Structure 1
Amino acid sequence: MPEDFTAPPLAPVRVWDRGDPRPVLAVHCSLAHAGAWSGLVERLHGLTLTAMDLPGHGRAPDWDGIADLQDLATRDAIALAEAQGRPVDLFGHSFGATVCLRIALERPDLVRSLVLVEPVLFAAARSHAAFAGFQARHEAVAAAMASNRAEAAALFHADWGNGEALADLPDRQRHYIIDRIHHIAAQSAALVDDRAGLTRPGGLESVAVPVLLIEGSESPAIIEAIQGALAARLPRAIRLIVPGAGHMVPITHPHLIAPAIQAHLDAA
């Protein structure tokens, strides 16, 4: 069973002891919470996984609407990694995966290995043909957000959700997503414009740790473009494509990715 902790000034976390103190730090996707890792972690062993709540998610304080969300999340994740006292294996999904990649670039001393599930670093695929289609959908969500948050959330969820329509989700989950949909537009500076410079020349090539890149075969086309760009630049990257899965693959298909993640950890 996981244990929940809040230890200010550290972010709220959920911790699973899976038989060994080897530290894993996990960063979830936007519009989720730390518990999103539960289906995956129960299929792993030989580690202790700490999953943080992103700013404005789960039990974390609300976002102030001003500070850069990736800056905040990176700060919180670095503090949690430093508290472990030794290098950690980082798991990240979607926005959370961009945070993990940023830590590997800015604080390589903290990182033992990376598992990046569909990092939404759109800037990495800016030159790809799929970028125009992504940009059109992204701008449609932003436009809807100005007048109808529920419509914006439905558009976003149709591309990046678990395969169900937003209207078919339980009320609590649906309202949780709608209440936080403004976070998505606010991430553009980090994800589309790459404000932190993750794609700078020579940066990704400097990541020396093993990297497992995971994606669903049914995810938006921009994901394949991003993963291809990252795989070409990260020296020790291995790519895993999960048949039939979409963007929420850690939640919908944990049984298919757990063996590859366990092998990745065992070899790191």
Structure 2
Amino acid sequence: MTAPTEMQSVFVRRLGDGGRNLLAFHCTIAHSGAWSGLSKALDGSASLVAPDMLSHGRSPDWDGQSDFFDAVTGLAAVELTKPMDIVGHSFGAIVALRLAMEHPDLVRSLTLIEPVFFAVAKQDAPDLYDQHLRESQPIEAAFQAGDEALAARLFNRMWSTGIGPKWPDLPERTRAGMVRGIHVVPASYPVLYDDQAGLLDPDKCKRVLMPTLLLSGSKTHPTIPAICDGLQRRLPNARHEVIQSAGHMLPISHPLETSALLQGLWKAGHGTGVTTG
């Protein structure tokens, strides 16, 4: 996949100067700076490359016409020029999974943190999937009303439980960035809910042979562990670890625990568990 011609580049943040090349994809309505804590926790062991998604951070806006998932993944693939470890958070984890399927020879290890791949829960845990749809109704109502500021506020509340200040206490610049990016959420639904990209195809899953770590927080939404367990069953070399006392934003709230698991994966490969306490 190549980058769309109308979007020739995105902003890329580079953190650390260690020997391990790590490509990292942030979650929706965040930006690449979200990886700063993890980079610090890795303590010089990695050189982290973190693009800002379209409509996020310092990157240009998505055009609203092209397929959002194709556009984001194509631009992400530009950075995958040599064998790298890949980590993705939330929607970024689905970008990471697709890259691992399309470029398995360039992905040394894959870490999917709190992957919001609801199509897995739709197949494996329909009751939890339906529960998620009910909990998301206020956000959907805000989108249907055209109130993106309210949608961003509710989306942030739903996924940022247990971390950071409440919406009124966030800096105006932070709130503005979240509102700017919120329109990509509905654009991601065909991929996340209906697997429009066909990522659950067994033949594609079989290509993900690299050591794969699935991470969830013990206090996250109940669909996420079901998604992680479902992906563990589908991917040949995957394991699922849970970080205690963490929610959906665990790479930000628990960078030390996340770093320990990453380094354990890199050092020992699949089959060696890491105790997270």
TM-score, normalization by structure 2: 0.87
Instruction: Report the Cα distance in structure 1 between the residues aligned to 2:10 and 2:119, rounded to whole angstroms.
Output: 28
2:246 matched to 1:248? no
Partner-residue secondary structure (3-state), 1:50: strand
- Name the CA distance, whole Å, in 1 between partners of 2:88 and 2:57: 16
SS at match of 1:227: helix
User: Among the aligned pairs, what percent are the same residue?
Assistant: 42
Q: Write the deviation string for residues 42-99 of structure 1: whole angstroms up to 9, x where unpaired.
A: 11133211111111111111111122221111101111102xxx21110100011100
Q: Matched residues in 1 for 2:201 and 2:168: separation?
A: 40
Could you say which residue in structure 1 is the equivalent of 2:4? none
Give a deviation string over 1:115-166, Cα, whole Å, max 9, x none. Answer: 1101111101103120001122334312212322222222212221253432
In the alignment, is the contact (CA less than 8 A) between 1:88 and 1:113 conserved in 2? yes
Is 1:141–2:139 an aligned residue pair? yes
CA-to-partner distance for each residue in 1:170-216, whole Å, 9 max, x for gaps?
Answer: 22212221222111111101111111101123322331000111111
> Does the alignment pair 1:108 with 2:107?
no
* In structure 1, distance between residues paired with 2:18 and 2:179: 37
Q: Which amino acid aligns with 2:216?
A: E
Q: Could you list the structure 1 runs, at least 4 aligned residues long, displaced by more than 4 angstroms after superposition.
A: none
CA contact (8 A) 1:154 1:165 kept: no
Aligned to 2:189: 188
Q: Which amino acid aligns with 2:202?
A: P
Q: Which runs of 5+ in 1 are unaligned?
A: 1-7
Query: 2 CA distance for matches of 1:238 and 1:116?
Result: 10
Q: In the superposition, relative to structure 1, how do residues 49 and 92 fare at CA in structure 2: closer, same or farther (>3 Å)?
A: same
One-letter code aligned to 2:159? W
Q: In structure 2, how many angstroms separate the alpha carbons of the residues matched to 1:243 and 1:249?
A: 10
Q: What is the match of residue 71 of structure 2?
A: 72
Return 5+ residue gaps in structure 2 as ranges.
1-6, 270-277
Amino acid at match of 2:230: A
CA contact (8 A) 2:16 2:39 kept: no
Tell me the equivalent position of 1:175.
176
For residue 203 of structure 2, give the secondary structure of its aligned residue in structure 1: coil
User: Considering only aligned residues, what root-mean-square deviation do their CA atoms show, in Å?
Assistant: 1.7
Contact 2:25-2:51 within 8 A present in 1 as well: yes
Residue 225 of structure 1 is matched in structure 2 by 226
1:90-109 mapped onto 2 (5 Å cutoff): 90-109=86-105
Contact 1:97/1:119, CA 8 A, preserved across alignment:
yes
- Which residue does 2:117 correspond to in 1? 121
Q: Pick closer, same or farther for the CA change 1:25–1:226 going to 2, 3 Å.
A: same
Could you tell me how far apart the structure 1 residues matched to 2:247 and 2:66 are? 30
Aligned partner of 1:171: which letter?
E
Secondary structure of 2:60's aligned partner: coil
Contact 1:162–1:252, Cα closer than 8 Å, also in 2: no
Aligned with 1:130 (options 128, 131, 142): 128
| Counterpart-to-counterpart distance in 1, 2:245 and 2:158 | 15
Residues 162 and 174 of structure 1: CA distance in aligned 2, closer, same or farther (over 3 Å): farther
Partner of 1:3: none
* TM score, norm. by length of structure 1: 0.90
Secondary structure of 2:175's match? helix
SS in 1 for 2:202: coil
> Does structure 2 retain, via aligned residues, the 8 Å contact 1:159–1:220?
no
CA distance in 1, matches of 2:234, 2:24: 23
Q: Is the 8 A contact 1:113 1:265 kept in 2?
A: yes
> Aligned partners of 1:47, 1:254: CA distance in 2, in Å?
14
Output aligned runs, 1:34-49, within 5 Å. 34-44=32-42, 45-49=44-48
| 23 and 77 in structure 1: CA distance in 2 versus 1, 3 angstrom threshold | same
- Judge conservation of contact 2:30–2:57 (CA < 8 Å) in 1: yes
2:205 paired with 1:207 = no
Q: Do the aligned residues in 2 keep the contact of 1:114 with 1:210 (CA within 8 Å)?
A: yes
Task: Find the aligned partners of 2:236 and 2:134 in 1 and give their Cα distance.
Answer: 32
